[in-house]
A and B are shown apart, each in its own frame.
Chain A
Amino acid sequence: MTDTSASILSPAVARGTPVLDVQNLRVRFGRGPQVVDGISFELTAGECLGIVGESGSGKSVTARSLIGLAGTGAHVETDHLRLGERSLVGLRPATWRGIRGRKIGFILQDALSSLDPLRPVGREIADALRLHTRLSPAARGVRVQELLTAVGMPEPHLRARQRSGELSGGLRQRALIASAIALNPPVLIADEPTTALDATVQAQVLELLAQLTASGTGLLLISHDLAVVKQLADRVAVMRAGRIVETGSTAEILEAPQHDYTRSLIAAVPTGRPRGERLSVSSSPVLPATTGALGTQTRPHEPPVAPEQHPVLDAQRLTKVFRTPDRSLMRAVDDVSLTLHPGRTLGLVGESGSGKTTVARLLLALETPDHGTVTLHGEPWSPLPESARRHRRRQMGAIYQDPSASFDPRLTVEQILTDAAGNGSGGTRQHRTRVAELLDSVGLASRTRDSRPAHLSGGQRQRVAIARALAPRPGIIICDEPVSALDVTVQAQVLDLLNDLQQEFGISYLFISHDLGVVGHMSDSLLVMRGGRIVERGDTEAVFRSPAHEYTSRLLAAAPRL
């Protein structure tokens, strides 16, 4: 950070002064249950308090309640809520508006949707100034440039005129932060500020937030990701079902967690955990247990089949070129070769836009390669006419990032699984048995069979997706970001499940993710992709130990870990 930016960004509050004091905050919607059920905390200037919780824990509602925007129908009560010396209880709307943005800055999760896609980001930032200062439009413009410079935006005068859709994820998030800190608010609330970002970009944004706390801002950091919170927070509060179950300094929480839930959260983080180690606590009450025939606590990982055997899937020199909307050509996949061995997991890691999903589609023969071939079980697979391939389709399954979109919305779980299991119509006893078997193997209660996936939780949905992939008894499953939409503990369960299934059925996985930690935990060997090319390949442990490519090193360095 430069000298100018430091002066711009320092709130006029001495470090250590309490800036936000919340006592017994309770929120419910309509006649519903307490979503936030009596939480209390204090934030001082220059401090970062992390609130960690999974979806539904009430952490976002807490954040919004603090600025009086809990939403329509919300009943918010507190014993007291103070901003500095000032009580925020029972304020009139106009008074609230004077506080929002000026005294409390607010950063939402997804900058793409949190900045108006139809307005230049410069205007969005200037809005805060328009609302709270008497600066002329020209003066606002100058200040916007300063702010953008301060948050590390390259070419600020150019970027200010662009709309959020035209910026990359990281720059977008910087713009959003700039709009939140435009008035140097003493308190900054950041709700999942880095969730949608690639690891390297995430690191940069966290660095920016760290600079803000360093200059005296009180930061309330809300996240589902302990690893992220660890980077910044001085203190951590673990939230679950509307309550704070445990609070303490970051070090205390991570090293000596008192509460079971905290422990399960920590255990669920895959980063740096050896292959085969279980992440989930099977007694976790959050979701239906993954027990059944497969449920044992830990099981040392042994490759069930020797690597010398013939590869199940082999891709040679795949290239796929797309035409972008501005008519230029983009090599989405450039000369990619990979080999998948029976019973093994091949990890494919890369940031967004690196071409990893296109690789998955080429392997699944949903796209035809411009160059190169794919061989399945030693026989030609792609390019081939679809009709020649169709009868062998059942040898390869797929699991997608967004399972809800991958289900026909009209079908129930049973119909989906019946349809996937056989070509015939459903309803026979045989089919019912098979559906029960599948539900059992992915740890779903049999009562879910009549539900539609849209009505299930995210974790249950991904289990249905896995069950569907298993249904034709494939030897290979392509997993494209199978856990990136899930909470950590759910992610842990799903990852464990995938490992268990591999143990039981000897399935080979191509495991695609942007999350180095997840891939590292899941894979036997690893491919690192960037800009359509494989930049590094090798045994997972070896790559983690001594990355050969500079990009891999950067990825490793950026990945937050506990």
Chain B
Amino acid sequence: MLRWLGLRIAGGVFVLWAVATLIFFALRLIPGDPAQAILGGPGSQASPEALAQVRLDYGLDQPLAAQYFGALGRLLRGDLGTSYALKTDVGALILDQFWGTLVLTLAALAAAWIFALGLALWTTRGGWLSDRVGSGMEIMAAAVPHFWLASVFIIVFSSWLGWLPAISVPGPIGLVLPVLTLAIPLAGFLGQVMRESLADALESPFALSARARGESETGVRWYHGIRHAALPGISLSGWAFGALLSGAVVVETVFARPGLGRTLLNAVTIRDIPVVTGVALVSALAFILVTVVTDLVDRIADPRLGTS
């Protein structure tokens, strides 16, 4: 297990390096002068002297290779650089924004899990109709764009009913709509997978064994079904987390929540390269951690994985 963990960590470090490299060179392909982005962004009227000064200060006059290794060196020391637009430390900036997104995505992941599992347990093999209805709901949910769902929620729950705030407010109440918006499409995806796995489990010999032992259908679902339905959900959680980060870009914009998604969108719009790089690295890191954790949970939940 330790050796496995070590390999995973080494793999993670490699992925981080590759992400940094990829993003570094990809962002160099974006048309536009980084010095311009530093000096007030598009449309500003920075003087040639100021641009020259900035190129010198930020090392933009150096060859690309030197810039790359410089950036890599700083990265190794944990320095993500300075935001072009905000002139602040990217690491600190991202740290500020990270928690909001983390809370949002983890809450959405949990909610999606509960919805998906609940719906699957409720409708699978409850008869032809309920199975169809359940799976239809999942397919529909998975096909709903976040921004549309968010709008509908805002209109219904904020404007018409006035039950929930339309924008982020402190406390859990402000999380309800953003989390629902992120969770429902994801629940559609997870639900489809969980339903399949649950249906397999409910037809498997061990379920027959349990019934032969006198277990009720509810009992079979509760003691056996849940675990098997959850298993593919756990494996998918790494992917789901990445999808949630994408969704967070939209959801944070609609609900005016501070967070990495909004930071990313702003940074791309104004070509704030260090911030884009930083967000990419942090998302990759978060993704790697989540994957390692889910793999770990997978292995604990399902000993078959360790041996096969």
Contact = CB atoms under 8 A, between A and B. Distances in A.
Interface stretch (A94-102, A393-401, A441-449): A94-102
Secondary structure class of chain B's binding surface, majority of residues = helix
Given A110-B205, A327-B3, A117 B304 contact: yes
A179 B209 CA distance: 9
Contact of A100 (B206, B214, B224, B308): B214
A163 B308 contact: no
Interface string A163-204: 101100000000010011000000000000000000000000
Contacts of A176: 209
B262 to A, nearest CB: 40
A325 B214 contact: no
A69 B213 CA distance: 11
Interface residues of B, number: 26
Contacts of B301: 118
Contacts of A127: 210, 213, 215, 223
B83 to A, nearest CB: 45
Contact of B304 (A102, A110, A165): A165
A69 B205 contact: no
Contacts of B47: none
A108 interface: yes
A259 interface: no
Given A131-B219, A165-B303, A165-B307, A116 B212 contact: no
Interface residues of A, number: 38
Given A115-B206, A116-B206, A180 B307 contact: no
Contacts of A261: none
A294 interface: no
B214 A132 contact: yes
B45 interface: no
A556 B153 CA distance: 73
A326 B3 CA distance: 9
Contact of B212 (A69, A93, A109, A325): A69
Given A119-B224, A131-B214, A113 B204 contact: yes
Nearest to B306: A325
B228 A106 contact: no
A97 B213 CA distance: 8
A128 interface: yes
A347 B97 CA distance: 69
Contacts of B205: 108-110, 113-114
Interface in A80-104: 93-94, 97-102, 104
B208 interface: yes
Interface string B1-29: 00100000000000000000000000000
Interface of B: 3, 204-206, 208-216, 219, 223-224, 227-228, 231, 301-304, 306-308
Across the A-B interface, give the 8 residue pairs with the lowest CB-CB distance, nearest first: A106-B212, A101-B214, A101-B213, A100-B214, A114-B205, A118-B227, A113-B205, A116-B206
Interface of A: 64, 67, 69, 93-94, 97-102, 104-106, 108-110, 113-119, 124, 127-128, 131-132, 163, 165-166, 176, 179-180, 325-327
6 contacts: A97-B214, A100-B214, A114-B205, A116-B223, A180-B213, A325-B308
